[in-house]
Amino acid sequence: MSERSPAPGGLELVQSLVNTLDIESGADALDTADGRARFGLAEEDVPGARELRESLRVALLAHAGHPPHRTVTPLGELLTASPLVVAVDSADGSATLAPAQEGPLLSRVAAALAQALVEDTWTRLKACEAVDCHWAYYDRSPAGRGRWCSMQVCGARAKMRRYRAK
- Name the CATH code of domain 11-165 (choices 3.50.30.30, 1.10.3300.10, 1.10.510.10, 3.40.640.10): 1.10.3300.10
- Convert the pLDDT of each residue in 61-119 to its tens digit: 999 998 898 899 999 999 998 889 998 999 999 888 888 877 789 999 999 999 999 89
pLDDT band at 127 (very low <50, low <70, confident <90, very high): very high
pLDDT band at 46 (very low <50, low <70, confident <90, very high): very high
Residue 2 pLDDT more than 50? no
Residue 147 pLDDT more than 80? no
- pTM of the entire predicted model: 0.86
So what's the pLDDT on residue 153? 64
Mean pLDDT, range 122-132, rounded to an integer? 91
Mean pLDDT, range 3-20, rounded to an integer? 91
So what's the pLDDT on residue 122? 96
HEC per residue, the chain: CCCCCCCCCCHHHHHHHHCCECCCCCCEHHHCHHHHHHCCCCHHHHHHHHHHHHHHHHHHHHHCCCCCCCCCCCHHHHHCCCCEEEEECCCCCCEEEEECCCCCHHHHHHHHHHHHHHHCCHHHEEECCCCCCCCEEECCCCCCCCCCCCHHHHHHHHHHHHHHHC
